[in-house]
Structure 1
Amino acid sequence: MTGNHQSLALMLFSVFVAVTLGITTWVSRNRRGSAEEFYAGGRLFSPMENGFAIAGDYMSAASFLGISGLIALYGYDGLLYSVGFLVAWLVVLFLVAELVRNCGRFTLADVVAARMRERPVRIAAGTSSVTVSVLYLVAQMVGAGSLVALLLGRTGEAAQAWTVVGVGALMIVYVSLGGMRATTWIQIVKAVLLLGGTIALTVLVLIRFHGDFDRLLTTAADRSGHGPAFLAPGLAYGGDWTARLDFLSLGLALVLGTAGLPHILSRFYTVPTARAARRSVVWSIGLIGGFYLMTIVLGFGAAAIVGPDTVRASNAAGNTAVPLLALDLGGGADSTGGTVLFAVVAAVAFATILAVVAGITLASSASVAHDLYASLRRRRGTPRSEVGVARIAAVGIGVAAIALGLLARDLNVAFLVGLAFAVAASANLPVLLYSLFWRGFTTRGAVWAVYGGLIPALVLVALSPVVSGSPGSLFPGVDFQYFPLQNPGLVSIPLGFLAGWLGTVTSAEEPDAAGHAETEVRSLTGAGAV
């Protein structure tokens, strides 16, 4: 990339970082320092504002960079990520949004602990939430590294490493100083920027093909080298039984995982009522749905205009397909238009990553402070001490995410997010649904549901081709691959539900009928909700 690319993109990066740091500083000077302010932004956001923030939190580097890259490389099979990510919101809307807002205060554990013995349940749910959040953070770090490595050319590996460190440092600042209110406004700004940039690129792609989507698909198929197979199922997940089971596992994880993501669940607490939470989800579905439809155009546009070989040569996982597409649409590498469009898209993608990592870090640090720290102390800490612990936890989580991001920097970001979704669906979703809908659910069942999904999911990932035994794995030089699937969801999600059922039916503890009745009334009516 030329010096003009670097200078303009870095200037736009700097403008966004300066604006968001300004928001964070302003909010930190006007905060009350309460737990409700730090964790939930004072519950002062409107449904539209929260809907934009949810969309900003959800439309991550996996969506903008990873999915488009997978479509550019694998055609129809890459498109399945867009479908899975969007359909998942129906589960959120109809099953959890209002109920979670009515039953909890700040975290997933609040919902489960409402009718259980708090200490074991909070420790289990807090551990799971932090694990899922760190896995999700790694994907964002990898996206940031891929983007800036492309921007800075030959200094790719060093640029990637320093970018991961820089993103980690910024997210620590956002969370520790501004809390939920600053994070929410950063996500709203980012959602507007991302949607604007995506609309502009989609229009330019369609103009290039004179609005003929069929011609776009035909050109993409011809240039892919696979012909009509590029537009049919099976290029990535076809063939033997292992690939087909991997597809089923991925689809199950994507559809069920969103309802168990800690940073998505925490967004329902930033509005004053359950009705507002439901309306927030409706707003977010509209924004997210439009966005994912446009990623399909961008992915096939990158295949048709840039070509899968060029995308793969830039980044083997396809993470740079959209920036390369913007460069070509603007007129090429040596043109002013290409330079400007590339810089704008790179800045928007970088803004996307910064906003998402801030939301995830806040949710995970809240779990550490509100669930783990508060449960492990013999005496309940004050809200102010919890907030202090949350800020310290943000630093530790940031450091862990930086280290793992450096390790996994050659993997596709959408694929990494698929792993996080699988763990969320295995560990968090079973305990959440059982707590809300099963009258006989017990404390042992809750703890077993969490660990019965979390541990198998992590073990199966460790024994999968993702970690060892293949050229594209984290440790290609060793082989301890015993589980053939890349995504563990097909096995670990049923195990989570099974463990919760087994723990409940083998428990000597009598179910808390009064506690369930109170939780049921609160979840359905909002009576007594905080």
Structure 2
Amino acid sequence: MFTALMPAADNTVGNPALNIGIFVLFVVATLGIVIKVSAGKKTAGEMYTGGAAFSGKQNGIAIAGDYLSAASFLGIAGAIALQGYDGFLYSIGFLVAWLVALLLVAELMRNTGRFTMADVLSYRLKQRPVRMAAASSALAVSFFYLLAQMAGAGGLVSLLLGISGSAAQNLVIAVVGVVMVMYVMIGGMKGTTWVQMIKAVLLIAAAAIMTFWVLGKYGFSLSGLFDAAVKENPKAGEKLLEPGLKYGKTTTTKIDFISLSLALVLGTAGLPHVLQRFYTVPTSRQARKSVEWAIWLIGGFYLLTLVIGFGAGALVGPEKINAAPGKANAAAPLLAYELGGSPLLGIVSGIAFATILAVVAGLTITTSATFAHDLYNQVWKRGQASQEDEVKVARIAALVGGAIAVGGGMLAKDQNVAFLVALAFAVAASANLPTILYSLFWKRFNTRGALWSIYGGLGTALGLIIFSPVVSGKVDPVTGKNLAMLPESIDFQWFPLDNPGLISIPVGFALGIIGTLTSKEYDEAKHAEMEVRSLTGHGVAEAIDH
């Protein structure tokens, strides 16, 4: 989930031509599959949810493909290689987050909604204002998540394809954008889901092969691998295997880690593109099954990153990792090159780009559905637009959204974009999750509470990020290097934490309570109806259409 932009560099590893060849092969093959599985006329349901025709197993694999981005693979492996125990905590946070989604959200969301998150949030409240608020939050989360992936695509070029220079990186970002829009325009959710399934299998298989290879070098002994990693990193030493190497230096870093953990664990259950995947299965039982499959696959993958990370630390070493373009993000590719030379590096780099394509395609589906279904049809046309018109608007929204993402990725390619992913999780946890939980479980909840919670959580998260060290005023105390987005000469930060979750998440929950209790609105019959539907799924399509 964390994307750190990699600067352009002249030195690369492996064979760039091989990397590009594997990438092109994947694109051609998956486009062929998308065209084959997506033939025929598309309704709104097929465009947004693939006609709810996927099994729980298929959807679980697709969720894993949607969730495991290239940034997860490269970023977490690098964090473990350099920070050991503290780096592995990211993997734990991402896995625990799925328990929240499974226990509190998956089944009830599938039963109550039809296409988007706003279907649930507006179900028993005033439709137009709540849909506008939910759409605003969903678009904000999706845009920053999408922007991070697009910018990361340009940054990965330096190491994996041997391309440097602003124009070359812009070209790659544009290519990723074009292919992404093609997936969505041609295949809709059905085609995108198949791409995500293929990508998930390839990514997990590549990680498993690297894990097996690394363990084989140390007699399949984890302790032997850990000892080698400690020996190769004398600066960290035994602290590599203990908590606190990165987040235990000061009180502020400890608090910041708590804030980041809250955002990661609670934000996943509020990510619009993840929630939309629950609607691609026909029953609530299949929704539960899909999340169970996702947990096993995602959990297994993150366990593999433990070996890959420590393997990179032991076989490549922190000095080579820090000297390479992208530093920590170079750990997994450098390990692949160390193990299997150019062929294995080519496969890993091709899969890394494939993951970006799959993730951005899923995000584009979400943004187009939010715009066409929630804003165009339900708000502007008051639910009277035809399915043909809605699908047409969704495709136009995909084109416009893709162009905006490409432009934003080009502008952000020379900046550190890791904060964009953290912002997406923080906004999801602050604005979306409180409203989702209140809508599903609190019978007194009303329109004012929803609006205050969404806009309050969204505004607080955005405001604190803007005035945090990740935007301005952050300098490495050792090297004096500027670590913020803006130039060193600009400094207006006053919020000390990198992630706003510790503040913005409680604000989102609190405003939902205050807004609800200060309004007399309460529809007991509508709440009872929603409660029945959330537990059974009976009549949801008719209710949403109405």
Residue identity opposite 1:503 in structure 2: G
**SS of the counterpart of 1:272?**
coil
Aligned pair partner of 1:123 in 119, 129, 132: 132
Q: Matches of 1:300 and 1:49 in 2, distance apart?
A: 32
Alpha-carbon distance between aligned partners in 2 of 1:217 and 1:416, rounded to the nearest angstrom: 32
The answer on whether the counterparts of 2:163 and 2:169 sit within 8 Å (CA) in structure 1 is: no
Partner of 2:528: 517
Distance 1:513 1:137 in 2: 39
Matched, 1:56 2:65: yes
- 1:518 deviates by 0.5
The normalised TM-score by structure 2 is: 0.92
Give the superposition deviation at 1:173: 1.4
RMSD after superposition: 1.8
CA deviation vs aligned residue, 1:53-105 (integer Å, no higher than 9, x gap): 11111111221111112112222111111000000010011101000000000
Distance in 1 of aligned mates of 2:161 and 2:298: 31
The answer as to whether partners of 1:149 and 1:157 remain within 8 angstroms in 2 is no
Residue 415 of structure 1: CA displacement? 5.6
Does 2:456 align with 1:452? yes
Supply the distance in 2 between the matched residues of 1:281 and 1:407 (Cα, whole angstroms): 36
Q: Distance in 2 between matches of 1:447 and 1:258?
A: 21
The answer to whether the Cα contact below 8 Å between 2:113 and 2:119 also exists between their aligned partners in 1 is yes
Please, which of 336, 346, 353 is the counterpart of residue 349 of structure 2? Answer: 346
Q: Which residue of 2 aligns with 1:217?
A: 226
Structure 1 consecutive aligned stretches of length 4 or more whose deviation exceeds 6 Å? 1-4, 411-414
In structure 2, the CA distance between the partners of 1:234 and 1:160, relative to structure 1 (3 Å rule), is: farther
Whole-angstrom CA distance in 2 between matches of 1:240 and 1:79: 20
Offset, 1:213:
1.2
Q: CA deviation at 1:279?
A: 0.7
- The answer (yes or no) to whether the contact 2:416–2:485 under 8 Å persists in 1 is no
| Contact 2:12–2:159, Cα closer than 8 Å, also in 1 | no
The separation in 1 between residues aligned to 2:410 and 2:90, in whole angstroms, is 24
CA distance in 1, matches of 2:416, 2:310: 17
Q: CA deviation at 1:412?
A: 6.7
Q: Compute the displacement of 1:138 (Å).
A: 2.4
Aligned to 1:326: 336
Q: Distance in 2 between matches of 1:318 and 1:203?
A: 22
> Shift of the alpha carbon at 1:526?
2.1
Q: Residue deviations 1:21-75, cap 9 Å, x none?
A: 11232344x2322100101101111111111111111111221111112112222
What residue in structure 2 maps to residue 501 of structure 1? 513
Q: Which moved more, 1:167-176 or 1:489-498?
A: 167-176
Matched, 1:357 2:368: no
Percent identical residues = 57
1:22 to 32, 36, 56: 32
2: CA distance, partners of 1:317 / 1:111: 42
Mean Cα deviation higher: 217-226 or 149-158: 149-158
Match of 1:333 in 2: none
Counterpart amino acid of residue 472 in structure 1? L
Q: Which of 307, 310, 313 in structure 2 is aligned with 1:300?
A: 310
Q: 1:47 aligns with which of 44, 56, 60?
A: 56
Q: 1:406 to 1:236 in 2, by over 3 A?
A: farther
Question: What stretches of structure 1 of length at least 5 have no aligned partner?
Answer: 331-337
Q: Does 1:384 align with 2:388?
A: yes
Secondary structure in 1 matching 2:161? helix
Letter in 2 for 1:15: L
Pairing partner for 2:186 from 172, 177, 189: 177
- CA distance in structure 1 between the partners assigned to 2:167 and 2:247 by the alignment: 34
Deviation, 1:4, is: 6.9
Match of residue 334 from structure 1: none
Evaluate the alpha carbon distance shift between residue 524 and residue 3 of structure 1 in structure 2; reply closer, same or farther with a 3 A threshold. Answer: closer
**For residues 471-521 of structure 1, what are the alpha-carbon distances to aligned partners after superposition, in whole Å with 9 as ceiling and x for unaligned?**
121113311111111111111100110111111111132x11111101101
In 2, are the aligned partners of 1:217 and 1:300 still within 8 Å (CA)?
Answer: yes
Distance 1:124 1:354, change over 3 A: same
Equivalent-residue separation in structure 2 for 1:351 and 1:459 (angstroms) = 34
Structure 2, unpaired ranges of 5+: 1-10, 475-481, 542-546
TM-score, reference length from structure 1:
0.95
TM-superposed CA distance for 1:407, in Å, is 4.1
Structure 1 residues 237 and 290, CA, compared in 2 at 3 Å: closer, same or farther?
A: same
Contact 1:140 1:357 in 2 (8 A): yes
The more displaced of 360-369 and 231-240 is 231-240
**Displacement, 1:410?**
5.7
Q: Which amino acid aligns with 1:373?
A: Y
Matched with 2:483 is: 472
State yes or no: 1:32 paired with 2:41: yes
Q: CA deviation at 1:311?
A: 1.7
Aligned equivalent of 1:263: 273
Check whether the contact 2:423–2:462 (CA below 8 A) recurs between aligned residues.
no
CA gap 1:275/1:412 in 2 versus in 1, 3 angstroms: farther
1:66·1:413 contact (CA, 8 Å) conserved in 2?
A: no
- Counterpart of 2:425 in structure 1 is 421
Q: Against the structure 1 CA distance between its residues 80 and 176, is the aligned structure 2 distance closer, same or farther, given a 3 Å change threshold?
A: same
Contact 1:319–1:413, Cα closer than 8 Å, also in 2 = no
2:184 and 2:398 in contact (8 A); partners too? yes
The CA deviation at 1:221 is: 2.4
The residue number in structure 2 matching 1:335 is none
Q: Distance in 1 between matches of 2:417 and 2:224?
A: 29
Please give the per-residue CA displacement for 1:438-496, whole angstroms capped at 9, x wherever unaligned.
00000111111111111110111111111111212111331111111111111110011
